[in-house]
Amino acid sequence: MRLLLVEDDALLNSRLRSDLERAGFAVDVAKNGVDAEFMGESEPYDVVILDLGLPNRSGLDVLRHWRAAGNSVPVLILTARDAWHEKVDGFKAGADDYLGKPFHVAELLARLQALLRRGVARPPGLLQAAGLELDEDTQTARLLTTGETFELTGTEFRLLRYFMRHPGQVLSKSRLAEHVYDFDAERDSNVLEVYINRLRRKFGRDLIATRRGQGYILGAGEG
């Protein structure tokens, strides 16, 4: 899943990016409100972490502009401004969740997962689809038929998680690349095919079907 981290504190920015990448997110960073607003409008993020006290343009203004433009990306406000009336302002501007500083990374990750789960009407618990169960904490996948568990590389995990969050949907290479890789990554469609074939070797050729000229679909057999 692709995440936009909007935070101007360099130390917190660096630490959080590392924590989020270890948790399986492809992370882009914006350090001021103007860049954040532009990136949020031009890139297809799955979720945003947004600080309020930003240079050039406030986080609340960024969020208001996104919502006015019809951008419904889930937004978690992360800020030291945690008075009740400031939280009310954040929710009125269109925030989906609010976490005050200081915070525990485990709570942040749990809140992000809750936002992502809400976005696809997914029930609580481990993600299941196409005969697989994905543990997002350990980045492992288990075959439900045999109970066999497989470790996943970072890219394998991000790719499989995106497929499992969109079962039965035809996903183009460009859409997969947009949500699996961050802004700076080399989005080579041939490399993406390599990782899809790795998942097929682990879990079976029928796990991910090819729809020629369209893309890929999880768990529908070859077409």
On the question of pLDDT at 181 being above 90, the answer is no
The domain spanning residue 138 has which CATH number? Answer: 1.10.10.10
- Domains contained in the chain, number: 2
CA distance 21 to 17: 6
pLDDT single digits (tens) 29-39? 999 999 999 99
Residues 102 and 175 in one domain: no
Mean pLDDT of the chain: 90
Return the closest-CA partner of residue 62 out of 94, 85, 84.
94
The most confident of the ranges 17-31, 123-137, 167-181, 187-201 is 17-31
Whether residue 150 is contained in a domain is answered as yes
Domain holding 20, by residue range, is 2-119
Residues 107 and 10 in one domain: yes
Work out the pLDDT band at 184, boundaries 50, 70, 90: low
Q: Which of 101, 119, 137 is the last residue of a domain?
A: 119
Mean predicted confidence (pLDDT) in 68-86: 87
On the question of pLDDT at 160 being above 50, the answer is yes
Residues 101 and 132 in one domain: no
Whether residue 223 is contained in a domain is answered as no
Percent residues over pLDDT 70 in the chain: 92
Give the pLDDT of residue 108.
96
pLDDT single digits (tens) 185-220? 666 667 889 999 999 999 999 999 999 989 999 986
pTM for this structure?
Answer: 0.77
- Give the Å distances, CA to CA, from 180 to 19, 44, 102, 212: 17, 11, 29, 21
Give the pLDDT of residue 222.
43
CA distance 40 to 30: 10
Percent composition of the chain: helix, strand, coil (DSSP 3-state, to 5): 40, 20, 40
On the question of pLDDT at 26 being above 90, the answer is yes
Q: Which of 72, 96, 119 is the last residue of a domain?
A: 119
The domain spanning residue 107 has which CATH number? Answer: 3.40.50.2300
Give the pLDDT of residue 20.
96
Residues 201 and 103 in one domain: no
On the question of pLDDT at 123 being above 80, the answer is no
